[in-house]
Amino acid sequence: MKQIQGPAIFLAQFLGDQAPFDNLKTLCKWAASLGYKGVQIPTWDSRCIDLQKAAESKDYCDDWKGIVESTGLQVTELSTHLQGQLVAVNPAYDELFDGFAPKAVRGNPKERQAWATEQLKFAAKASRNLGLNAHATFSGALMWHTMYPWPQRPAGLVEDGFAALAKRWLPILNAFDKAGVDLCYEIHPGEDLHDGITFERFWEATGQHTRCNMLYDPSHLLLQQLDYLQYIDFYHTFIKMFHVKDAEFNPTGKSGVYGGYQDWVNRPGRFRSLGDGQVDFSAIFSKLTQYDYSGWAVLEWECCIKHPEQGAAEGAPFIQDHIIRVTERAFDDFASAGKDQKLNKRILGL
């Protein structure tokens, strides 16, 4: 068996306008002081990285990587969650998602999609230049507004939707294949890839592309009331990335999975700081270790109650305590009779 790496932290939720959260080096020093060993980088924030330069210049990548490593940390993966969202946007969401794009392409869905696709291709090259083997993103969504089947979906709508989504992503998946990097879709409500079935349908539509993989985040599965442990049994060969994020689901007689349009703090299902929710991380780390997951365990902190700095400080030891040092021998080796083929034949009556 292989051992999970970590703890690591996704920097997206901690970037800010005040030190130490306003530039990459000081943010990495802060993370290292808390006990983290790696950082996952949001590529849409120029304070973290110039994605185009990273794609075009190995020298830039070497210098940039040196900044992170000078703080005692490793780069775990790059993320294009916001850019990936813009690869596929249903017109119903144009204005809501326009803010993810640079001003030059806002209000122009075709140009926005082209920009997003270019960003993903930059990310493939940048990941290769940095020596990374996995990348995090969102799938975007063409069909999310039809997720609940009322009014009834026209026949063939879902099949056509996944075919269209795959058509947009295939050139990107091919770019990641050329770079030797796995593209990992975070399975997430709001995306067309939001559970196991939707991932399978997309994967089939891509021709079972070998670079089409998953980022596993149990919080999104718990909030759907999906069996997030059996999910690992089904999809462990696709899980190349892991966000360690907690959640809780407490339905009432008034509200359940859909949340009643309430704010996060009042929703029955809400994200929580590590250890404050209902996710069974002991079982998750055991299952991932059983299946030889050797990637990083990365804190993605989101909580509507606890302060982010407290959550980050608690997250590193929480993850470290859950990482399993894998055994190198069987627990009952002390009772081994050794290998004796004649003995085996006698026991078998041969």
| One pLDDT digit (tens) per residue for the chain, 350 residues | 899 999 999 999 999 999 999 999 999 999 999 999 999 999 999 999 999 999 999 999 999 999 999 999 999 999 999 999 999 999 999 999 999 999 999 999 999 999 999 999 999 999 999 999 999 999 999 999 999 999 999 999 999 999 999 999 999 999 999 999 999 999 999 999 999 999 999 999 999 999 999 999 999 999 999 999 999 999 999 999 999 999 999 999 999 999 999 999 999 999 999 999 999 999 999 999 999 999 999 999 999 999 999 999 999 999 999 999 998 887 777 677 788 899 899 999 99
Name the amino acid, one letter, at 54: A
pLDDT of residue 199: 98
Region label for 94, one of left (φ > 0), alpha (ψ between -120 and 50) or beta (otherwise) = alpha
Tell which residue, 117, 112, 129, has the closest CA to residue 50.
129
Helix, strand, coil percentages, rounded to 5, for the chain: 45, 15, 40
CA distances from 344 to 103, 263, 317, 336, 350 (A): 74, 65, 47, 13, 9
Q: What is the pLDDT of residue 336?
A: 76
pLDDT in the model for residue 158: 98
Predicted local confidence at residue 241, as pLDDT: 98
Q: What is the pLDDT at residue 208?
A: 98
Q: Report the predicted TM-score, pTM, of the whole model to 2 decimal places.
A: 0.95
Residue 295 and residue 39 in contact, taking contact as beta carbons nearer than 8 Å: no
**187 is written with which tokens?**
């399975």
Integer CA distances (angstroms), 276 to 226, 287, 337, in order:
19, 21, 47
Per-residue burial over 241-277, b = 16 or more CB atoms within 10 Å of its CB, e = otherwise: bbbbbbbbbeeeeebeeeeeeeeeeebbbbbbbbebb
Length of the chain: 350
* Angle, alpha carbons 223-227-230 (nearest 5°): 145
Amino acid (one-letter) located at 263: D
Q: What DSSP character marks residue 154?
A: P
Tally Cβ neighbours within 10 Å of residue 67.
15
CA distance 88 to 103: 18
